[in-house]
């Protein structure tokens, strides 16, 4: 499966650059060498993502995020103290993406013609070691939209997908480890997104907000990086009923590689992938579960979330860098999945979804 073209539905590339100070143009070994001895973040020296590793693994198209949380004075989560600060952070992240476009490492996908041109480039049979990584711009948590006018501004500069919530209570919706439906601002946000023709990312919405959002939103829906609650019983994952609701909407579900979402009983900073037997077999289990619920392979994809504030200390032990993601397809092939099925999960499902959503 080493020759597969892969689409990854969730990578926090700009967060790694702007907050972790990683230059993704450098080899992964150099990124990690420069972090030797650093202790400010738990994954220092354990990064898995660079442009070189993406190309090496055939990951030529990604959904890349902006992310900046607002936190109220009584919110213990890390974040910015005003929506305006959060907006400014996302604009710095945008500036980095644009700088990488100018440097030839990335190309933004805003519409169907952009998508098709990028796929033609990657499928032309030439070596991919210098080809730009295509990216559809998404935002993880809507807190940085000071007003709905800021959402419209973001759409104009290329934002195409919005996840209304992240962890905890948000300005528009409540996310992981919280409860409650969309507030009035969140409902207005979804109406404006519908008007603009954007993609709703239901990742991180709590159960109440998830069902409320699906009932309200009329446009395209996906879950960029979620796993199955049947394996890890936590509100961050989707129950079978939630997965079925997404299948009914034609949504794509990207399966993630954060070990605490893969292995029951994981303790951050204590557990290790080896001792918890966290391997890519578990990603294959999650993919297979969605396919079994659907009765086909049309709704499963990769949404690795690699280097989403964790590294090799908290991802499958048989993965060293993102170039190894394709190994999951060898596992699926061993379970009886055919090449057409594997191509659909690796890229076809997300490409078809993007073509329709960007029309």
**Considering the chain, what percentage of its residues have pLDDT values greater than 90?**
97
Give tens-digit pLDDT for 278-313.
999 999 999 999 999 999 999 999 999 999 999 999
94: confidence class by pLDDT, cuts 50, 70, 90: very high
Distance CA 351, CA 274 (A): 34
Q: Tally Cβ neighbours within 10 Å of residue 336.
A: 8
Per-residue pLDDT tens for 124-140? 988 888 999 999 999 99
**3 pLDDT band (50/70/90 cuts)?**
confident
Q: In 3-state terms, what secondary structure has residue 300?
A: strand
Going by C-alpha positions, the residue among 336, 350, 334 that lies closest to residue 300 is 350
Q: How far apart are CA 159 and CA 177, in angstroms?
A: 27
**Does 253 have pLDDT greater than 80?**
yes
- Per the CB < 8 A criterion, the answer to whether 332 and 341 are in contact is yes
Check: CB of residue 196 under 8 Å from CB of residue 152: yes
According to the model, what pLDDT value does residue 2 have?
55
What mean pLDDT value characterizes the chain?
A: 97
pLDDT digits (tens, 9 = 90+) for 162-212: 999 999 999 999 999 999 999 999 999 999 999 999 999 999 999 999 999
Whether residue 209 contacts residue 183, with contact meaning beta carbons closer than 8 Å, is answered with no
Cα 181 to Cα 42: distance, rounded to the nearest angstrom: 33
For the chain, what percent of residues have pLDDT higher than 70?
A: 99
pTM: 0.97
Judged against a pLDDT cut of 60, whether residue 1 lies above it is answered with: no
337 — pLDDT class (breaks 50, 70, 90): very high
The domains located in the chain, with CATH, are 6-357 (3.20.20.140)
> If residue 97 lies in a helix (H) or strand (E), which one and from where to where?
helix 83-102
Q: Mind listing the pLDDT tens digit for each residue in 18-45?
A: 999 999 999 999 999 999 999 999 999 9
DSSP codes joined into one string, 22-49: --TTS-HHHHHHHTTT--SSTTTT----
Residue 36's alpha-carbon distances to 30, 136, 269, 309, in angstroms, are: 10, 32, 18, 17
In angstroms, the CA 153 to CA 14 distance is 19
Check residue 73 and give its pLDDT: 93
290 by DSSP, 3-state: which?
helix
């Amino acid at each position: 499966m080493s020759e597969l073209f892969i689409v990854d539905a969730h990578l926090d590339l700009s967060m790694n650059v702007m907050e972790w100070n990683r230059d993704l143009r450098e080899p992964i070994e150099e990124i990690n060498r420069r972090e030797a001895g650093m202790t400010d973040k738990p994954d220092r020296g354990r990064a898995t993502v660079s442009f070189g590793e993406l190309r090496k693994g055939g990951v030529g198209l990604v959904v890349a995020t902006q992310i900046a949380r607002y936190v109220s004075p009584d919110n213990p989560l890390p974040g910015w103290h005003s929506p305006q600060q959060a907006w400014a952070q996302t604009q710095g992240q945008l500036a980095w993406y644009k700088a990488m476009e100018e440097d030839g490492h990335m190309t933004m996908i805003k519409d169907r013609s952009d998508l098709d041109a990028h796929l033609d480039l990657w499928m032309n049979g030439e070596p991919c070691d210098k080809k730009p990584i295509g990216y559809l711009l998404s935002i993880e948590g809507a807190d940085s939209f000071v007003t709905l006018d800021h959402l419209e501004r973001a759409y104009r500069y290329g934002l195409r997908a919005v996840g209304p919530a992240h962890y905890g209570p948000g300005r528009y919706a409540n996310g992981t480890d919280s409860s409650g439906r969309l507030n009035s601002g969140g409902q207005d946000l979804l109406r404006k997104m519908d008007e603009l023709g954007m993609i709703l990312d239901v990742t991180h919405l709590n159960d109440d907000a998830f069902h409320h959002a699906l009932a309200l939103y009329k446009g395209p829906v996906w879950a960029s990086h979620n796993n199955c609650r049947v394996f890890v019983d936590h509100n961050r994952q989707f129950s079978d009923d939630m997965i079925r609701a997404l299948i009914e909407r034609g949504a794509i579900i990207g399966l993630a590689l954060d070990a605490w979402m893969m292995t029951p009983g994981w303790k951050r900073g204590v557990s290790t992938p080896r001792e918890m037997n966290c391997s890519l077999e578990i990603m294959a289990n999650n993919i297979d579960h969605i396919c079994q619920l659907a009765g086909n392979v049309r709704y499963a994809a990769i949404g690795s979330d690699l280097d989403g504030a964790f590294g090799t200390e908290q991802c499958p032990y048989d993965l060293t860098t993102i170039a190894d993601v394709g190994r999951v397809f060898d596992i699926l092939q061993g379970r009886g999945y055919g090449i057409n099925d594997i191509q659909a999960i690796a890229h076809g499902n997300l490409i078809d979804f993007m073509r329709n959503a960007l029309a």
